[in-house]
C-alpha cells in the first residue's frame, strides 16, 4: 500500500543530527554505535531514504523545524529568532541538495501532486520521494511578513507553535493564547492559501485559531486525548472541529501519544500498532467515516525505536497496520484512504492550482 505520511522531520535528521539519509537504517545505527552516541534517539533510528522507498512512501510533509529555546545548555533548539531563521534556511538548502541528487521532489501545486503520485504509482523504484514543505513552529519567522519569503520557497503548511511558548503563542505543555503577531500571521496565511496545522497548539491557542482563521486546517500528527490522556492530544471537541472544517488528522506513532503514563527515556513501550489502529477507530467513530484520518507518523522526530510502538523497529513495520485494519473489517477502499487517499484529497484541494 502506497503511503502519504503527513509528518517527517527529514532535515532535522539530515542537518541537526548529521545523519546521511542516503544510507540504509542499519549503517546509520552502526555509525552511531561506533562513535558511542548515546543520547536518546541515537543508535535507534527507524528511517532513511532507502527505507522510505522500501516502505512505499510516495509523498510526505517534510518539516522546517528550528525551535527557539531560552536555555543555552540544550541539545535541541536555538537561542534567537535569527538563528531559527538561519536554521530553517539550512533545512531548505538540505531539501534542495537532496532534490539535486534525485532523492526528493518538491510539490507546490495540485497539478504537481497529482502528477507525482501518478508517476510514483507507475514507477515506484525510480521516482523520488515527493514532499510538501511545512513548518513546525513559526519561530523562524522573524516577523509575520517573513511567511511570504518562505511561501515563495514552497511553504504550504504551517504550525504556529511546538513545545512551550514562542513569539506567536502557546504550544504543548502550556496554556498560553496567541500573540498579536499570530493574528497578523494567520491573516497572511489565509491570503496565501497556507493550511494551518493545529498540532501542538495549547488548548487556548487552538480555539483562538479556530475563531480567527477561515482557511483550510489539518492536524499532521495528532492523536485522541480519550485514548492517551494528556494535553498533547486533542479533546473530542477539537477533533470534531477539524472534522467539521473538512480537515484530516494524522495518526502519530510516537508512543508517548499512544501509551498512558509513559515517561520519555524511562518507561519501556508496551503499546503496539494495534493501539495506533485504535486511534483510527476512534476518529472514525466521531466522524462516521474514514474520511478524516490519515498517517502522520512523526517517526525519528527527535527519538528512535525506544519511543515507538513495541512492534515497530523500522519504518517498514508500520505497513502491518494494513493487516490490522483488515482484521478489524475495514474495506480495501477505507484502508487505501487512510494510507494515502485522504491526504491526497485534502492537499489536492488545499494546494494552489498553479
pLDDT tens digits, 131-180: 999 999 999 999 999 999 999 999 999 999 999 999 999 999 999 999 99
pLDDT of residue 266: 86
Asked whether the predicted pLDDT for residue 354 surpasses 90, the reply is: no
Residue 74 pLDDT exceeds 80: no
Confidence label for 342 from pLDDT (cuts 50, 70 and 90)? very high
| E strands present in 116-224 | 129-136, 155-159, 165-166, 169-170, 195-197, 217-218
Per-residue pLDDT tens over the stretch 17-54: 999 999 999 999 999 999 999 999 999 999 999 999 99
**Region 241-250 average pLDDT:** 98
Of all residues in the chain, the percent with pLDDT exceeding 90 is 95
pLDDT of residue 71: 78
Angle (CA) 138 139 144, round 5°: 60
Question: Which CATH number fits the domain that encloses residue 172?
Answer: 3.20.20.140
pLDDT at 60 over 90: yes
- Predicted pLDDT of residue 291: 98
State the pLDDT at residue 265: 82
pLDDT score for 70? 79
pLDDT given at position 83:
95
Buried b (16+ CB within 10 A) or exposed e, 278-308: bbbebbbebbeebbbbbbbbbbbbbbbbebb
| Domain span holding position 46 | 3-350
Count of positions (residues) in the chain: 354
Query: Looking at the predicted structure, is the pLDDT value of residue 222 above 80?
Result: yes
DSSP code for 128: P
Inter-residue contact 216 to 349 (CB < 8 Å): yes
More confident residue, 219 or 262: 219
pLDDT score of 234 = 98
Mean model confidence pLDDT for the chain: 97
d(CA 126, CA 105): 12
pLDDT at 72 over 80: no
CB 17 within 8 A of CB 302: no
**CB-CB contact of 346 with 247 (8 Å):** yes
Count structural domains, the chain. 1
**Tens-digit pLDDT profile for residues 266-303:** 889 999 999 999 999 999 999 999 999 999 999 999 99
Quick one: average pLDDT of 73-97? Answer: 93
Among candidate residues 90, 121, 212, 225, the one with its CA nearest the CA of residue 160? 212
Condensed to tens digits (0 to 9), the pLDDT of residues 108-141 reads 999 999 999 999 999 999 999 999 999 999 999 9
Amino acid at each position: 500500500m502506497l503511503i502519504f505520511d503527513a509528518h517527517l522531520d527529514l532535515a532535522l535528521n539530515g542537518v541537526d543530527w548529521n545523519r546521511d539519509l542516503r544510507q540504509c537504517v542499519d549503517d546509520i545505527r552502526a555509525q552511531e554505535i561506533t562513535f558511542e552516541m548515546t543520547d536518546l534517539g541515537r543508535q535507534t533510528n527507524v528511517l532513511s531514504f532507502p527505507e522510505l522507498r522500501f516502505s512505499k512512501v510516495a509523498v510526505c510533509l517534510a518539516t522546517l523545524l528550528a525551535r527557539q529555546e531560552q536555555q543555552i545548555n540544550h541539545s535541541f533548539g536555538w537561542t534567537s529568532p535569527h538563528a531559527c531563521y538561519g536554521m530553517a534556511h539550512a533545512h531548505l538548502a538540505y531539501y534542495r541538495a537532496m532534490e539535486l541528487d534525485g532523492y526528493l521532489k518538491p510539490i507546490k501545486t495540485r497539478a504537481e501532486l497529482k502528477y507525482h503520485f501518478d508517476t510514483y504509482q507507475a514507477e515506484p523504484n525510480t521516482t523520488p520521494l515527493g514532499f510538501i514543505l511545512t513548518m513546525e513552529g513559526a519561530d523562524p519567522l522573524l516577523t509575520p511578513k517573513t511567511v511570504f519569503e518562505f511561501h515563495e520557497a514552497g511553504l504550504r503548511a504551517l504550525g504556529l507553535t511546538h513545545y512551550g511558548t514562542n513569539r506567536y503563542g502557546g504550544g504543548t505543555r502550556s496554556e498560553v493564547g496567541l500573540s498579536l503577531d499570530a493574528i497578523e500571521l494567520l491573516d497572511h496565511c489565509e491570503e496565501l492559501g497556507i493550511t494551518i496545522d493545529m498540532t501542538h497548539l495549547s488548548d487556548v491557542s487552538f480555539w483562538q485559531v479556530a475563531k480567527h482563521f477561515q482557511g483550510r486546517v489539518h492536524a499532521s500528527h495528532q492523536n485522541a486525548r480519550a485514548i492517551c490522556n494528556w494535553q498533547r492530544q486533542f479533546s473530542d471537541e477539537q477533533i470534531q472541529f477539524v472534522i467539521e472544517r473538512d480537515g484530516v488528522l494524522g495518526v502519530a506513532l510516537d508512543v508517548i501519544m499512544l501509551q498512558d503514563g509513559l515517561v520519555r527515556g524511562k518507561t519501556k513501550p508496551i503499546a503496539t500498532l494495534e493501539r495506533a489502529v485504535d486511534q483510527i477507530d476512534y476518529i472514525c467513530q466521531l466522524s462516521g467515516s474514514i474520511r478524516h484520518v490519515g498517517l502522520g507518523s512523526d517517526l525519528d522526530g527527535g527519538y528512535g525505536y525506544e519511543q515507538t510502538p513495541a512492534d515497530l523497529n523500522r519504518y517498514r513495520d508500520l505497513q502491518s497496520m494494513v493487516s490490522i485494519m483488515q482484521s478489524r473489517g475495514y474495506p480495501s477502499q477505507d484502508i487505501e484512504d487512510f494510507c494515502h487517499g485522504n491526504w491526497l484529497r485534502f492537499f489536492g484541494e488545499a494546494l494552489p492550482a498553479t
